[in-house]
């Protein structure tokens, strides 16, 4: 009996040690980065990570000496517009695939899916040529238009819409709702969780864009935050690592907020009680 208890405890201790070690490995870079953002650059350069000269100076200089605010504003606008555009267009096309009956429905949907198989890198040259010929380089539009809709979003929402009970559609037909009313008053609220998931996904996707904005933007007027961060590093002859680290910390904050807010909605059981 005693032996059994001991081995159970050992097992538990061992698994906790393993979990803690893995958590440290994953989280350490993140916390070192945040910690470093509070240290003077001189201390960082010396490798003195346990310095006690903690201050907000890096954050102050990030905001005052660099155009990071402008970058942030650019990114917020672009990410927000992209998110809402994707929510609207993806949900509407998903609605059509689920609730409307038309010819070649499956074929068209397959075409949709095929675009998902194509990596974005493969589309860069044609997209760049298109944007350039439209004269939209170095403009918000260049960063928004290619991402107005996404095959993945349509696919995801379609799967979710298909779970909407058919009775709700029939009940709406009897009450005389037209397609738009059904879409707006029933399908969207019913699939709120998927909408929030897609919203968070597309917002973060837009927020973390790097390659495409690097190719299509050249001025601070439209440069987004990820490219701006890189800019901070190369503009200076001497890299102010403390400040760069502070900027990096600033730009992860929205990501964390989105995930945090999103998490609140990812509770199961929201749609319980619709049928049965």
Instruction: Give the footprint of another protein on this chain (CB under 8 A).
Output: 165, 167-168, 170-177, 181, 185-186, 189-190, 192, 269-276
Least Å distance, CB 95 to another protein, is 17
Nearest to 241 by CA among 61, 73, 27, 53: 61
Nearer to another protein, 55 or 163 (CB): 163
Least Å distance, CB 193 to another protein, is 11
Least Å distance, CB 88 to another protein, is 19
Nearer to another protein, 183 or 212 (CB): 183
Three-state DSSP string of the chain: CHHHHHHHHHHHHHHHHHHHHHHHHHHHHHHHHHHHCCCCHHHHHHCCCCCCCCCCHHHHHHHHHCCHHHHHHHHHHHHHHHHHHHHHHHHHHHHHHHHCCCCCHHHHHHHHHHHHHCCHHHHHHHHHHHHHHCCCCCCHHHHHHHHCCCHHHHHHHHHHHHCCCHHHHHHHHHHCCCHHHHHHHHHHHHCHHHHHHHHHHHHHHHHCCCHHHHHHCCCCCCCCHHHHHHHHHHHCCCCCHHHHHHHHHHHHHHHHHHHHHHHHHCCCCCCCCCCC
Nearer to another protein, 149 or 194 (CB): 194
Least Å distance, CB 172 to another protein, is 8
Least Å distance, CB 48 to another protein, is 55
Nearer to another protein, 47 or 176 (CB): 176
Q: Are 209 and 224 in contact (CB under 8 A)?
A: yes
Least Å distance, CB 186 to another protein, is 6
Nearer to another protein, 171 or 259 (CB): 171
Least Å distance, CB 166 to another protein, is 9
Nearest to 54 by CA among 33, 39, 42, 36: 39
Give the pair of three-digit tokens for residue 19. Answer: 């979990």
Least Å distance, CB 181 to another protein, is 7
Rounded-to-integer distance, Cα 56 and Cα 60, Å: 6
Nearer to another protein, 121 or 272 (CB): 272
Nearer to another protein, 187 or 249 (CB): 187
Nearest to 180 by CA among 63, 92, 50, 70: 92
Nearer to another protein, 6 or 170 (CB): 170
């Amino acid at each position: 009996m005693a032996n059994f208890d001991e081995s159970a405890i050992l097992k538990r201790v061992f698994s906790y040690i393993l979990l803690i070690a893995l958590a440290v490995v994953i989280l350490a870079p993140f916390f070192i980065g945040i910690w470093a953002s509070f240290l003077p650059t001189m201390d960082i350069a010396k490798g003195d990570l346990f310095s006690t000269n903690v201050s907000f100076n890096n954050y102050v200089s990030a905001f005052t000496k660099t155009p990071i605010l402008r970058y942030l504003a650019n990114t917020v606008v672009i990410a927000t517009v992209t998110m809402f555009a994707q929510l609207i267009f993806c949900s509407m096309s998903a609605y059509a695939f689920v609730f409307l009956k038309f010819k070649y429905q499956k074929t068209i949907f397959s075409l949709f899916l095929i675009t998902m198989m194509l990596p974005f890198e493969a589309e860069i040259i044609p997209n760049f040529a298109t944007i350039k010929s439209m004269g939209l380089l170095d403009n918000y539009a260049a960063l928004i238009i290619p991402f107005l809709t996404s095959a993945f979003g349509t696919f995801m929402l379609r799967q979710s819409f298909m779970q909407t009970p058919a009775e709700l559609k029939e009940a709406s037909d009897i009450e005389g709702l037209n397609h738009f009313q059904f879409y707006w008053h029933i399908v969207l609220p019913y699939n709120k969780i998927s909408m929030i998931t897609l919203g968070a996904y597309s917002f973060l996707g837009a927020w973390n864009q790097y390659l495409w904005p690097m190719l299509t933007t050249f001025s601070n007027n439209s440069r987004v935050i990820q490219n701006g961060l890189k800019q901070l590093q190369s503009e200076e002859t001497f890299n102010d690592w403390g400040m760069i680290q502070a900027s990096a910390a600033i730009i992860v904050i929205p990501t964390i907020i989105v995930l945090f807010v999103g998490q609140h909605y990812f509770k199961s059981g929201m749609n319980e009680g619709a049928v049965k």
